[in-house]
Structure 1
């Protein structure tokens, strides 16, 4: 016997928000509602069951482009087109998608936008941590009703995965490898049989057409729990690489900083493009262990120095420039954030950073202001 899962009521927090109140970080389907609507209106290609857009339109939404009527779709992901096409094609089958990569390669960002474009809803989310219980993937119970009346449909609390199965939508599991291995394996039956048993009721939830699952994972952070071979076989894995070139990474950082800055009413980041290039150069050189000209070998710090961290450093610098400067991003605004990103281990990383400053940054003729600012905060 299968059990139906009723749609959840509207979020009371958002329902009670003051009229005109602005959400600090809108979901992708809300922030880019205009683009999604424009794509849907002009999308004449076949759509899989319950998809809001065709696979072609989903890929266009992520990669950007210009529609026949001149509508511009902004790129959400800057990288190889084939990666996005493989990810979207996977979701159009009955396979789950695993987005794999080092921290900061936009796995969560891509996952959210894929869910928004496919289902129109990116909120069916399980956030993986070392303490994520099995109930977060399967289901839980309303214990007041459970104690009063015993196991029943009314007492059952569906997980985001169960809701996605019952409603034919996209579920997301973030940081899958942070979830304990025995909890991870709760997904095996869901992904192989497309069924979630409820033995307490002698029933099950069967996935309806349109159900997809996107997971993200990395193998660089501490606290990683390797996926079992049985679970890994249930996924098509797509590896998201770091940006291939410095120019591509600069473009990504500049675009995201501009988006975040506008949301926070900070000055436009274009005035600070030179500083963005410096941050990206520092991150890439220390990450790769060699200067951009290939002449000097470098020690790498313990941190990942990801594109996401570069975005954070520049955004913090813009806030300093806006509130304590003249609004123009300069070396002194990013120095402290850069130090915090590089020096995670106070002993070993500080040595790496100081050596980099003295052997590389100091010798660059047009980086003297940057060198002074970094030396000032490094001490």
Structure 2
């Protein structure tokens, strides 16, 4: 089966100097190998079959020996439901606490389905309706009035005309009246252009992925009419410490290679320590279940653990011996835990003195944390 034209064009862009290449460029070899080996039915304008999209996300080894690295570490069924939703006329809403890989998963889904993850609307409190619908080239508008030449298509309109996957990040941060612009798009698959007396009809292959942070409930809650247009998939935090260590290690390794930082294997012990601290404070209990703890105000997500370890690797590379040590991650952990200087500092100090101080093999970590906390 042939690769969609939009994918072919996107794949040939020069991204050799990109600090963070888009998923379709960073994993182009894997996507090409999957496309070559994929003999299952593909929905219209999909780069891969739903089965191959799931394999791309979950990882595995192809018959020719090509290793597909996992992009999402979590329950297989979540990925299968997300992929199968995109193969229907229902839009997909990825919901979860901060740091549960909502954006990461949406990017890779779009890359594997359409070969283009860049049709993106970033939701904020100031996102205008034009960002979702369309805007105007005002020079053309003033000179010639409303016309197709003066119209500037937004990412969603482009996805509709190309049969691609659009993405909207942080949907619940967008004002409610702007959110509701999506209702007609998702239900009727059309986008009216009243200024021209026309409409854009979505072609086969079009769908939309939105993400939302469940900590934002009550900010701009989705209307019931809009929520019905989505199939909601809730992304959980990693179920086990081993799974979270694996996620952090993989992502830090990918980021580190692009920044010429030290190899991750030299710092696996510190990664596990960071993950342990985050999980215990997040859960309000030590890993052995014996000691109850107060939880700080922050989320202490996997994404924040990745940030702490990456920052620690940079310290080790530029101001140390290249090996990740407790002193390299201590300041990052303090910054992640103590968001509210008054309340969170008390939580952190109690944790240091009652848990970290008494834990075997953690003396260097305790001293490093005490030093930055003083």
Q: Which TM-score band applies after superposition, normalised by the shorter structure?
A: over 0.9
SS in 2 for 1:144: helix
Q: Distance in 2 between matches of 1:112 and 1:297?
A: 38
The answer to whether residue 287 in structure 2 is matched with residue 292 in structure 1 is: yes
Q: CA RMSD in A?
A: 1.5
Which of 363, 370, 374 is the matching residue for 2:365?
Answer: 370
Q: What's the offset of the Cα at 1:118?
A: 0.2
What SS class does the counterpart of residue 216 from structure 1 fall into?
strand
Which among 53, 60, 63 is matched to residue 58 of structure 1? Answer: 53
What are the equivalent positions in structure 2 for 1:175-214 lying under 5 Å apart? Answer: 175-214=170-209
Indicate yes or no: 2:166 matched with 1:171: yes
Provide the C-alpha distance between the structure 2 equivalents of 1:160 and 1:256, rounded to a whole number of angstroms: 28
Report what 1:312 is aligned to.
307
> What secondary structure does 2:215 align onto?
coil
SS across alignment from 1:151 = coil
Q: Equivalent residues in 2 for 1:276-291 (5 A)?
A: 276-291=271-286
Cα gap change, 1:308/1:223 in structure 2, threshold over 3 Å: closer, same or farther?
farther
Q: Find the counterpart in structure 1 of residue 240 from structure 2.
A: 245
| 1:10-42 per-position Cα deviation (integer Å, ceiling 9, x unaligned) | 99xx98x8xx85110000000000000000011
Q: Which residue of 2 aligns with 1:230?
A: 225
Shift of 1:158: 0.6
What is residue 137 of structure 1 aligned with on the other side?
132
Contact 2:172 2:216 (8 Å CA) reproduced: no
Q: Work out the number of aligned pairs and report it.
A: 366
TM-score in terms of structure 1 length: 0.94
Give yes or no for contact 1:130–1:223 (8 Å, CA) kept in 2: no
**CA distance in structure 2 between the partners assigned to 1:91 and 1:246 by the alignment:** 31
Aligned residues of 2:96 and 2:214 also touching (Cα < 8 A): yes
SS of the equivalent of 1:363 reads: coil
Q: Distance in 2 between matches of 1:219 and 1:52?
A: 31
Counterparts of residues 7-86 of structure 1 (less than 5 Å) = 22-86=17-81
Give TM-score, length-normalised by structure 2. 0.96
- Per-residue CA shift, 1:37-77, capped at 9, x if unaligned? 00001100000000000000000000000001111000000
Distance 1:235 1:222 in 2: 16
Q: For residues 222 and 88 of structure 1, what CA distance do their matches in structure 2 show?
A: 25
**What is the SS of the residue equivalent to 2:239?**
coil
Q: Please report how far the alpha carbon of residue 309 of structure 1 lies from its aligned counterpart in structure 2 after TM superposition.
A: 0.3
Tell me the distance in 2 between the aligned counterparts of 1:46 and 1:63.
Answer: 19
1:116-151 C-alpha deviation (Å, 9 max, x unpaired)? 000000000000000000000011111111111111
Choose the corresponding residue for 1:355, options 350, 353, 359: 350
